Every structure is written in structure tokens, then in C-alpha cells.
Amino acid sequence: MNNTVREAIRKAIAKHKMIVISLLCLTFVGVLLLVFKDGYSMREDEFSEIQQYIMEIREKDKNIYNNLIYKELKIETNGIDVSSFQGDIDWEKVKESNLDFVIIRCGYRNLTNDEIHEDSKFRRNISEANRLGIPVGVYFYSTARNELETYEEATFVLNLIKDYEVLYPVVYDFELYDSKRTTGVSSDRINDNAIYFLDYISSHGYKAMLYSNNSYLERVWKRDNYSEYKFWLAQYDGEVTKAYDMLQYSDKGTIPGINGYVDLDKATFKYEIISK
């Protein structure tokens, strides 16, 4: 191969770097899925279905990208996380509390079937927070049993948040271990699913984060697998001995503008927007 051809190939790869990386990742994941799936070889039709779906959503979502340019500061900040359980929030009053951020549930998958739902208060909550300039992150409550369902959840979240300003992380929240529809799903599969979700979200320019309590951290999650992602720990009492980027330290907080209790959080970081 002469130098001219080599240079042409190099430039082509550089120009289409993301496409090349995506194809390589898909090939690698495909091989793994074909060989291993919770201890048995995957059927060819299963493999084909998953690969086809991944290709379809990557094509559909290819123009979705978080274009916020921001810097991260290492400083302790305070926030809350909310969902439809908080009802109609008076965001004007919440704004007066001088919180640094809010994490909003955008959706969830059912505990007993495969239906995915948007949180009924999500659009109102994020629209109001954006309007008032309160920095926002979002979380999705997953009950995914396999990689196909995980990608369904990831593309659902991506398309739900694409028209809003999401500065803080997009969080994968899986709390239903070996119960109801996740009965029999292995820890290895759960960890793989989390990585698929976080990787997909991250590939579209969003920060990604994993949520866990201490029990799941000891029984389920392989913490070393998530070194490139932020970690949100839930612990309401006792000395906190686990490293975290965000800590949910109470589920009985009170904030003006919210009726009843709300989760309280603190983070070891803060984001500041440089340009939009």
C-alpha cells in the first residue's frame, strides 16, 4: 500500500471517527452477545434482533446531542430530586431556596410488565426549572431484563430530554433486584445493562451517573466497571464510608414550594455553562 493510499485512509477515518468507533463498538458488543448471555450461547435470531434494533436507534438518534459547553468545579453543592410523587411543585418558591441543582425523574419501566412510562410531572417540572434557571439532571427508573430493553430505555430517555436544558447527569436507577419482573436476572446482566445505558447516553454528549444504595453496592454493582461515570449514593444514616459524587442523604427533607417530604442531596461538584 503506497503512502498516498495510507494517507487517504487515515483522513477518512479521522473525518468519520465517531462512525468508526460506533461500528467497532457494535462489532465488539455483538461478539460478546453472541457468545455469552447469562451463561448460555445466544440464539442467532436473538442476536440479530438486538443488533438490528441498536442500528435503528443509532440512526434515529444520530442528530441528538447535548451541545452545552460547560466546566466542572470541585465544590460541594446542595440539591433535591423529585418525581410525580411530589405533586404540583411551586417552582418559584423552590427557586428562592437557592438550591444548586435538581434531579428530576423523567420516566420508569413498570415493575410487573415491560411498559415504559413518562413521569406524569416531568415536562412541567423540567420546563419550570429551565425557565427559572435551576440546573437540572434527570433519572430513569429501570427494570430492564436484558440489553434490548436497556436500549429501549436509553433511547426513550434521550428523546424525552432532547428539547430541554440538561446540565447535570442523566442517571440510571435500577432498584428491583431479583424481584417481580427481574426475578432470575443475574448481577452480571444488570451490570452489563447499566453500562449499555450509560454508554449510550454519554455518546450523545450528556454526563451519565449510576444510582445505588449501600446494599446494592455490596451485592450487585461492580464499582470498578463505572470508573468513567459519576456515582450517586443513597444513605440516610450512619457514617458514609463509600466514595460518591452525589449523596442522597435524606428522604424526609422539607423545601418551600413542595408539599410533604422530598429527597435531599449534596454533590461534590458543580457545573457552570460556558456557552449554549
Q: Do residues 56 and 99 share a domain?
A: no
The span from the CA of 58 to the CA of 45, in Å, is: 20
Helix axes 17-35 and 3-15, enclosed angle (nearest 10): 80
Could you say which residues of the chain have pLDDT below 70? 1-43
* Model pLDDT, residue 262: 98
Cβ distance 268 to 245 under 8 Å?
yes
* Model pLDDT, residue 21: 45
Q: Do residues 90 and 129 share a domain?
A: yes
Q: Do residues 144 and 14 share a domain?
A: no
* Model pLDDT, residue 42: 57
Q: Do residues 172 and 135 share a domain?
A: yes
* Model pLDDT, residue 217: 93
Q: Do residues 55 and 126 share a domain?
A: no
How many domains does the chain fold into? 2
Q: Do residues 7 and 88 share a domain?
A: no
Domain with 209 in it: what CATH number?
A: 3.20.20.80
Where a domain ends, among 25, 43, 60?
A: 60
Where a domain ends, among 60, 77, 96?
A: 60
Q: Do residues 84 and 36 share a domain?
A: no
Q: Do residues 56 and 135 share a domain?
A: no
Q: Do residues 96 and 19 share a domain?
A: no
Domain carrying residue 240:
69-275
Cβ distance 61 to 158 under 8 Å?
yes
* Model pLDDT, residue 32: 43
Its pTM stands at 0.84
* Model pLDDT, residue 16: 46
* Model pLDDT, residue 184: 96
> How confident is the model over 70-121, as pLDDT tens digits?
999 999 999 999 999 999 999 999 999 999 999 999 999 999 999 999 999 9
* Model pLDDT, residue 37: 44
* Model pLDDT, residue 187: 96
Q: Do residues 14 and 132 share a domain?
A: no
Q: Do residues 103 and 173 share a domain?
A: yes
Q: Do residues 37 and 167 share a domain?
A: no
